[in-house]
Structure 1
Amino acid sequence: MSDVTIFAPSPTLTITVEEHGEQPDIHLHPGGQGVWQARMLLRLGTSVTLCCALTGEIGRMLRHLLQDEGIAVAGIEREGSGSAYVHDRRGGHRDVVAATEGDPLARHDLDELYGVTIREGLRSRLVILSGPAGEEALPSDTYRRLAADLREGGATVVVDLAGDRLDAALEGGVDVLKVSDEELTAAGLIEDPSPSAVMAAMRRLHRSGAATVIVSRSAEPLLLLDGQGFLQVESPRMAVTDTNGAGDSLTAGVAAGIAGGETAREAIVTGVAAGALNVTRHGLGTGDPDAIAELRAAVNVRVIVDDTAAEVAQPVTGHVSPGGLAALAQPDDATRKETDR
């Protein structure tokens, strides 16, 4: 039994060409949102089972690569075309040479994968629902059913989704939702990325079925809303190599903390530190766990006391330990008197 189960319906075989001296350096790795989350969870000492469809020869290769990384695979095998891409990075950025989303899941394959996910998710008690490689991989309603059934069985459900899949998961109910302000804009939930607009959207998402809502805001401080109110969480400023995978590292850090017994507002510190370190690296979902532990001290947390004006926040003196975060949600007597006027 693993600490965390990840629903990753269509992992991707990634082939990357880089430069080593004057010779091309070719790398094969498993990839995709769920895989990057799993990779960071392992770095943080959290065991993972990946529930996925392994399709054709690409799927057979992926199984070996995933297991070589230490990720337990609970997959269904099927024939067809799997998800894969070839990227050329010799010019210093990602040039797409070729890419395929793979074949959608057939009804019987989806039924089998659904059952595997329920089994593994109820064993681990914490499940991340991640997105597929393509829009047509599986019906969005799958996420509603999974979220509802897993929570009914007593599992904690964390989602990192957007669009129709996010709407479906919310209908089923989730414990932690992570989304970006860009995704909120694309969904028409905000017209501008201002803190007040984002916070209004977070309140709507909270009422719609997400117990905790986390919104990443690119270089701006992250926002968290739960039953105790809002937090503003500022990441340390790191020299950026590649921003891809930072959001998945954030989600993985939060899940690792929750699996270890923390609340979401305690676990957000590790999540932000993991995301910050990931942008300094070429590998997605990677990072030294000791470096992440040290970066936790550089994460600044503020409690937003007046949630009608996003700019009004009470700064924390120094850096807050995860154990002290819960107390921050309760304003002191002086603050209560000011906000009660």
Structure 2
Amino acid sequence: MFLTVTANPSVDRTVEVERLTRGALHRGARVYLHPGGKGVNVARALVRNGCKARAVVPVGGTDGQQLVSMLVDHSIEVVRVPARGQVRGNITVVEPDATVTKLNEAGARLSTAEIQALNEAVLKHLAGVDWVVAAGSLPPGVPDRFYADLVHEIRPTGAQVAVDTSGPALLAAVRAAPALVKPNLDELREAAGCPLTTLRDVVVAAEQLRAYGVEAVLASLGKHGAVLVDGAGVWHAEAPAQPRSSVGAGDALLAGFLSAGARGPDALVVGVAWGAAAVSLPGSTMPGPHDVHVHQVVLHSEVAWNRRIDE
């Protein structure tokens, strides 16, 4: 059983257009509507591939009702935390060459009482949970230490915590020493405070995070695959993909890695296969078993240190 907590969930609308031109009228060739937020995406990917997932989300307004309805339709167990503010809506515009333009709302402010209720809902629903995935941005009103506090409170229960967030919230969470963090390249650059242009740079930055007590760092590198750094070694994996939309690909990567045991190169291969599959699907569609091709993943047990990843 996996539990995901998404402090800033969303209803995501993806519009495919022939070409995006500033100031012009566009007619969408295709439109897709999905429940969104990193933790929600992870739950969707897990359930599509036969795992059990419980999603904790603060929800308010008509969009919040729609979000819950869509999650139930996806066979996800929903723990609804009532909130006064409206669940945010995000718009993604995708061009034929897979160029993505995103318009993300900040999200409604959560009150102190709502933040406490969200925290308590997570702790109350840990029965049978092996992994907690704390993922996504934090809405206004939520302190940067929110995910870090969850790590400290969950640790005594025996469940392990994976964190996928950015900025000050990521730095705070790293200092709480979760079992796993999954930054993308930009998030890892920001955390390291320096440019990352080669795989060596990525590994060095990941080791800096591990120095705080983080057991493993899974760094997603877009078209360059992903790097896993843990106490047993360093691995790089990549897979071919026909890009259609990169939205949610990192969430699929994390879900696949967790589903395969969250340890070592075998789990990395599965994670990269899920991520590559997600890139080939429209909108933020999460891949199912028929979309995933593990045999296409190339695993490098010896990292090509000087390979550039800024191209």
Give TM class, smaller chain: 0.7 to 0.9
Could you tell me which residue of structure 2 aligns to residue 82 of structure 1? 87
Q: Residue 269 of structure 1 corresponds to which residue in structure 2?
A: 269
- Superposition deviation, residue 240 in structure 1: 0.9
Give the equivalent residue in structure 1 for 2:12: 14
Partners of 2:163 and 2:65 in 1: CA distance: 27
Decide whether aligned partners of structure 1 residues 23 and 75 sit closer, same or farther in structure 2, where only a CA change above 3 A counts. Answer: closer
Equivalent pair of 1:229/1:304 in contact (CA under 8 Å): no
Query: Contact 1:239–1:279 (CA<8 Å) still a contact in 2?
Result: yes
- Unaligned segments of structure 1, at least 5 residues: 313-341
Query: Which fold has the larger relative contact order, with Cα–Cα distance below 8 Å and residues 6 or more apart in sequence?
Result: 2
Partner SS, residue 42 of structure 1: helix
Partner amino acid for 1:103?
A
- Name the aligned partner's letter for residue 109 of structure 1: E
Aligned to 2:229: 225
Give 2:254's aligned residue.
251
- For 2:158 and 2:36, how far apart are their aligned partners in 1? 29
Counterpart pick for 1:199 among 203, 206, 213: 203
TM-score (norm 2): 0.86
Whether the aligned pair in 2 keeps the contact of 1:10 and 1:137 (CA below 8 Å) is no
CA contact (8 A) 2:100 2:245 kept: no
RMSD: 2.6
* TM-score, structure 1 as length reference: 0.79
Shift of 1:89: 5.5
Any idea what SS the aligned residue of 2:215 has?
Answer: strand
C-alpha displacement at 1:204, in angstroms? 1.1
Report 1:93-104 matches (<5 A): 100-104=105-109
Answer whether contact 1:6 1:127 (CA < 8 A) is retained: yes
Identical aligned pairs, as a percentage?
Answer: 26
Deviation at 1:157, TM superposition (A): 0.9
1:200-231, Cα deviation, whole Å (9 max, x unpaired) = 11111111121011112222242211111211
Distance of 2:11 and 2:95 partners within structure 1: 19
**Amino acid in the other structure paired with 1:158:** A
Cα separation, partners in 2 of 1:87 and 1:231, compared to 1, 3 Å:
closer
Task: Give 2:37's match in structure 1, choosing from 32, 40, 43.
Answer: 32
CA contact (8 A) 1:83 1:133 kept: no
Partner of 1:335: none
Aligned residue for 1:152, secondary structure, equals: helix
Counterpart position of 1:149: 153
Map Cα deviations across residues 244-293 of structure 1 (whole Å, 9 max, x no partner). 211111001011112xxx6243311111000011111113142231331x
Find the aligned partners of 2:223 and 2:157 in 1 and give their Cα distance. Answer: 38
Counterpart Cα distance in 1 of 2:291 and 2:220: 21
Aligned match of 1:242 = 245
Query: Is 1:60 aligned to 2:58, yes or no?
Result: no
1:177 aligned to 2:177?
Answer: no
Q: CA deviation at 1:109?
A: 0.8
Shift in Å, 1:7:
0.8
- Answer whether contact 2:93 2:101 (CA < 8 A) is retained: yes
**Match for residue 331 of structure 1?**
none
Structure 1 runs (4+) greater than 3 angstroms displaced: 15-19, 22-28, 86-96, 187-190
Aligned residues: 297
- Deviation, 1:133, is 6.1
Q: 1:32 touches 1:133 (CA, 8 Å); kept in 2? A: no
Distance across 2 between alignment mates of 1:133 and 1:285: 23
Q: Once the two structures are superposed, what CA deviation does each residue of 1:285-338 show, in whole Å capped at 9, x if it has no partner? A: 42231331xx21122222238xxx8359xxxxxxxxxxxxxxxxxxxxxxxxxx
1:47–1:107 CA distance, 2 compared to 1 (3 A): same
The answer for the alignment partner of 1:330 in structure 2 is none
Match of 1:131 in 2: 136
